[in-house]
Structure 1
Amino acid sequence: MAKAEPGWQILRGGRLAEVTRRRAGHADIVIQDGVIREVGENLAAPEGAAVVDASGFLLHPGLTNAHTHGHGGLGRGQGDRWSLETLLASAPWVGGSRALSDKRLSVLLCAAEMVAKGCTTAYDLCTEIPLPSVEGLDAVADAYATVGMRAVVAPMVADRSLYEAIPGLLDALPDKLRREAEKIRLRPWQETLAVMEQALRDWRWNAEDIRFAVAPTIPHHCTREFLCGCRDLARKYEVGLHSHVAESKVQALVGLQSYGMTLARYMDSLGLVGPQFTVAHGVWLDDDDLRMLADRGASIAHNPASNMKLGNGMFRLKRALDLGVNVGLGTDGVTSGDNSNMYEAMRLAAFTSHVQTPDPRAWATAEQVYHAGTLGSARAAGFTDIGAIEPGMKADIVFLDLATPHWMPHNATLNQMIHAEDATAVRHVMIGGRFVYRDRKHTMLDMAKLAAEAEEARDRLDAANAEQKALFDLLEPVVASFCSGLAARPYHLSRYMCDAPNSGI
């Protein structure tokens, strides 16, 4: 859990990353009970304060991963040339047969990577099939507590399978495969809502900044009644909502076909969109969608790595910012983005904005990307006291070693952080004033033990899920062919980096 380090501390001699300065200047940071109290040069140390020598380090606020999936940890590296819909079809194989200990272990693996790569908070859309469990959600929270991170735990839920959610997909399957796909059923929405409400009533983690949210996975994977139930549950307990909206062209087309409006407009028509609502991906949002999200105070979690790996297209980061939308950054899960490196997410967010137009004035700046990875992501996750190193903020601080080659010489702080940093300069990570990662080693975890547990789980789950793997191998080519054919249909904008009749690029 994000336990604050008690007492006074002062970090001396480090350089502080700031949007207003091209090259970070020196600053001392005074911390009391895990909260930053003062920032400035040559500060007096409070009586009895522990002194931390930060000379030779660049200090920046811990990064917030605005969209990830902790259940993916044990499924890392399974897929290549998978679309989003193919990835969804793999779920019974990649995520099947897990014991409670496996669910916790999967999150531990992801959290360990995030902390080692400068990330101190995560918005985790975790899933259990066929519905979430109170014990499983508690295990996810316990994993983040063990590593020492802040988190939002959002059960990712639906009441329609992939084959029910995409019109025509079930009918496209051969008879034998159709019968197998028809067996893939989720529990009635009333049961899922009941479990989430019980988990909310029993939630014991808020005091440790491990919060709860509700994540109806994809709008058309949920019935109208279920979406409204998720809305009402979130309002009742004053927690966030998070959903994959217009991630792929298939989603965008199905939304228009099913509801006669874009998916974002559909969610808004049901009253889900507001300041506590986060859109995951949003690749296929049009300008009217973006304006509506800005007007409602909603956020977007931009995941550039998985958007490219899964072939979903290029999100219009600069356009969303220009229209006033709060944008955070995420890595997505390690089965879709394949790592939990927020520095990579920032770099790719910058680079993918560059390749969409030859006009540099229409590119996102390093300062905008840095804001998205810190304060923008924090806001998307519902936090107001992280994402900056200033008085009143939690002391979540990353120490980058300036003796690392890509910081030699240190010319322009944010440019180098966004365009060059790859997490290899991360030396220490502090959360709430407590070192959870020091001298490139976790202080809360036995990584050798974790590695052994992961290898044992892989062997056991491979055997347990062999039949599901065989079924997926039969389903995959049909799902891929049908969905790529569907995605070839016209839409009123294009986010692919290729020439096409309907290209809006």
Structure 2
Amino acid sequence: MSDRLIIHGGLVLADGESQARLADLLIEDGALREIGPPGQFDTIEGARQLDATDRLVMPAWVNGHTHAHGGLGRGAVADTGLEGFLAASPSINGQRGLADLALSATLTAAELLKKGCTALFDMTSEFPRPTVAGLHAVARAYDTIGIRAVVAPMMADRTLYQAYPELLDSLPEPLKAQAAQARAADPQACLSTVRAAAQDWPFDANRVRLGIAPTIPLHCSDAFMQGCAQLSAEFGLPMQIHLAESQQQAVFGEQRYGMSLVSHLNRLGMLSERLSVAHSIWIGDNDIDQLAQAGVTAIHNPLSNLRLGSGVAPVRRMAERGLRVGLGSDGANTSDTQNLFEVARLAAYLSRIVGSDEARWITASEALHMGTANSAHALGWGDRLGRLAPGYQADIVLLDLAQPIYVPLRDALRQLVHGENGAAVTHVLVAGRVVVEYGRLLTVDESALRRQAQAAAERLDALNAEGRHLAQALRPWIGAFCCGIGQRPFHLQRRLPTH
């Protein structure tokens, strides 16, 4: 017998392109079978019932870019730019065992679910390199808590100081000697790990699937990036890269490759519909055209972009030129939250500060579409997530219309995107299964999770104290170096579009 659920009495916002309307939903075997007028499914016997009276019913958010390891790194990132953060990353994420990897993923997933997000693209990190056991630990955590995920090991075969040789040369002794001791992972070992994981993935790939993430072009040799692309093609793995997140990356990319980072990736054969590019701030019109023509998805991460001072992505320009744009929270260490409601609002509002042409602002409709249907494409699930429509998975969020931001109610979509912060979330369903009920997460003991997280943070901080002190000593030197690079004229600046 099929498993049926009827959600009745709600105000349904099916997607970013529709008006909210009173309707009932019939869910069967985890998928949405039909949306009908109120009362249409009353004669169906034996179905479970969920009363959505005075609730706004929306498709769940899809997080197009985050780092689950950021869950245990919350509060550890100083007021620094991207390169300063990268220099400190080993001291934030180091010394973690399998239990720590699983705990951090659980923390991230718990916050996402409670804020109405049921799927994430996780560029997960394990030092010094990924292992099959580590990937399984993260995937198992997601499977247990009941969230969908792409688990993509973040990998590189160059250190920050190999990516920026001038940075290393700018450091005084003994900081230069200490920084020079950093070692990147063995590229063949990384690729072999992903291959082994792909050949024997023990999880339901419709819920938790494997991906691959060569982290930053400058941090990866050409051969390594091509090896990642080959694995992506061979096993159908979603692939994600941090692209042109900082001005420094754009400057050194042109210096190293004699062309933009996007053109270099295109030359290597990296661009495809399986690829998503996070941030994509320092790119020009020709770059956008190349990405769009290849079917790539760009993931806009406004919270971390502002937190790290990286800049504002040219989102309207991307949309105008046919590039699909999704939304991401980035990690809780660099965004301080996993709240897609905040991400969507900021994505809409930031478009207003870069120009007075109202026709080019990101609308509420576009922001919701970006954070649902468009992000789902990056995860390889664009045909099943991000909308409330027959055949799509029943990943659904219910919001309390009695909350102040909906009183009085005139435009549910506008009030949702511009005013909601997740406080109104009452129920969250994944494949028709209720995982959040009246704001309470049903799949994990949150009190125990908090205790475990605090104990782990204190233990890891003690273990990583030496590395943290080195990162603090390096910060002013890295900041000065980046400021100097930011003052350089470079070819890309003459190609950058208005937003």
Q: TM-score, normalised by structure 2?
A: 0.96
- Displacement of 1:80 in angstroms is 3.4
Residue 424 of structure 2 aligns to which amino acid in structure 1?
Answer: A
Partner in structure 1 of residue 455 of structure 2 = 456
Q: Quick one: distance in 2 between partners of 1:310 and 1:475? A: 16
Q: CA deviation at 1:491?
A: 3.7
Structure 1 residue 16 corresponds to structure 2 residue 26: no
Offset, 1:203: 1.1
Counterpart of 2:113 in structure 1 is: 115
Counterpart residue number, 1:44: 41
- Name the structure 2 match of 1:414: 413
Report what 2:315 is aligned to: 317
Does residue 32 of structure 1 match 2:32? no
- Aligned partners of 2:450 and 2:143: how far apart in 1? 19
- Partner of 2:261 in structure 1? 263
What letter corresponds to residue 176 of structure 1 in structure 2? P
Residue 241 of structure 2 is matched in structure 1 by 243
Partner of 2:153: 155
CA distance in 1, matches of 2:491, 2:116: 39
Offset of 1:209 from its aligned partner? 1.5
Counterparts of 1:162 and 1:484 in 2: how far apart (Å)?
17
**What's the CA shift for 1:318?**
1.2
Residues 265-321 of structure 1 deviation map (CA, whole Å, 9 limit, x = unaligned)? 111111110111101100111111111111111100100011111111111111111
Deviation at 1:187, TM superposition (A): 2.0
> CA separation in 2, counterparts of 1:123 and 1:503?
28
Q: Which residue of 2 aligns with 1:436?
A: 435
SS at match of 2:355: coil
Contact kept in structure 2, 1:326 and 1:380, CA below 8 Å: no
Summarize the Cα distance change of 1:173–1:6 in structure 2 as closer, same or farther, 3 Å threshold: farther
Instruction: Specify the SS of the correspondent of 1:427.
Output: strand
Cα distance, 1:421 vs structure 2? 0.6
The aligned runs of 1:37-116 (5 Å cut-off) are 37-41=33-37, 42-45=39-42, 46-116=44-114
- What corresponds to 1:202 in structure 2? 200
Q: What do the CA deviations read for 1:116-169 (whole angstroms, capped 9, x no partner)?
A: 001000000001122101111111101111210000010010000101111301
2:475 aligns with 476
What is the match of residue 367 of structure 1? 365
Report the Cα distance in structure 1 between the residues aligned to 2:293 and 2:120, rounded to whole angstroms.
Answer: 25
Q: Is the 8 A contact 2:129 2:185 kept in 1?
A: yes
How much does 1:438 deviate? 0.4
- Segment of structure 1 superposing worse, 172-181 or 214-223: 172-181
When the two chains are superposed, the root-mean-square deviation of aligned CA atoms in Å is 1.6
The residue matched to 2:266 in structure 1 has which SS? helix
Structure 1: give runs of 5+ residues left out of the alignment. 496-501
Q: Which residue of 2 aligns with 1:289?
A: 287
Unaligned runs of 5+ in 2: none
- Alpha-carbon distance in structure 2 between the residues aligned to 1:484 and 1:206: 47
Q: 1:215 to 1:20 in 2, by over 3 A?
A: closer
Write the distance in 2 (CA, Å) between the matches of 1:247 and 1:21: 33
How far, CA to CA, are the matches of 2:312 and 2:152 in structure 1? 26
Rounded Cα–Cα distance in structure 1 between residues aligned with 2:498 and 2:364:
25
Check conservation: 2:10, 2:56, Cα contact below 8 A. yes
User: Alignment partner of 1:81: what SS?
Assistant: coil
Mapping of residues 313-352 of structure 1, within 5 Å? 313-352=311-350
Moved over 6 A (4+): none
| Contact 1:60/1:398, CA 8 A, preserved across alignment | yes
Any conservation in 2 of the 1:306–1:332 contact (CA below 8 Å)? yes
Whole-angstrom distance in 1 between the partners of 2:98 and 2:254: 39
Whether the 8 Å CA contact 1:309–1:337 is kept in 2: the answer is yes
Offset, 1:21:
4.5
- The letter of the residue matching 1:30 is L
Q: Which letter maps to 1:77?
A: G
> Structure 1 residue 175: deviation in Å?
2.5
Give the distance between the partners of 1:460 and 1:253, measured in 2 at CA. 39
Percent of residue pairs identical: 42
Task: Return the alpha-carbon distance in structure 1 between the equivalents of residues 398 and 26 of structure 2.
Answer: 15
SS in 2 for 1:444: coil
**Can you list the C-alpha shifts for 1:473-503, whole angstroms capped at 9, x where unaligned?**
11111111112211221245669xxxxxx99
Deviation, structure 1 residue 20: 4.7
Deviations 1:36-61 (A, max 9, x none): 10101032243311111111100001
Aligned with 1:175: secondary structure?
A: coil
* Amino acid in the other structure paired with 2:464: N
- Other structure's SS at 2:212 match: strand
- 1:241-271 Cα offsets, whole Å, 9 max, x none, are 1000111101111110000111111111111
1:15 maps to a residue whose letter is: L
Matches of 1:395 and 1:103, distance apart in 2: 29
Quote the offset at 1:79 in angstroms.
2.2
Alpha-carbon distance in structure 1 between the residues aligned to 2:385 and 2:40 = 22
Q: Tell me, yes or no, if the aligned pair for 1:494 and 1:504 is still in contact at 8 Å.
A: no
Instruction: Using the TM superposition, give the Cα deviation of residue 178 of structure 1 relative to its aligned residue in structure 2, in angstroms.
Output: 1.6
Output the CA distance in 2 between the equivalents of 1:477 and 1:177.
Answer: 12
Equivalent residues of 2:139, 2:208 under 8 A apart: yes
Any conservation in 2 of the 1:493–1:503 contact (CA below 8 Å)?
Answer: no
1:446 and 2:442 correspond: no
Compute the displacement of 1:208 (Å).
4.6
Mapped contact 1:6–1:34 kept (Cα < 8 A): no
Which digits, 9 at most, give the CA deviation of each residue in 1:152-210, with x for residues without a partner? 01001000010111130111112311221122102221111111111111211234511
Moved more, 193-202 or 371-380: 193-202
Separation of aligned partners in 1, 2:497 and 2:243: 20
Give the aligned partner of residue 356 of structure 2. Answer: 358
CA distance in 2, matches of 1:20, 1:489: 43
**Separation in 1, partners of 2:279, 2:238:** 17
CA contact (8 A) 2:24 2:41 kept: no
Q: Structure 2: which amino acid aligns with 1:479? A: I
- 2: CA distance between counterparts of 1:283 and 1:382? 23
Task: Determine if contact 2:61/2:116 at 8 Å carries over to the other structure.
Answer: yes
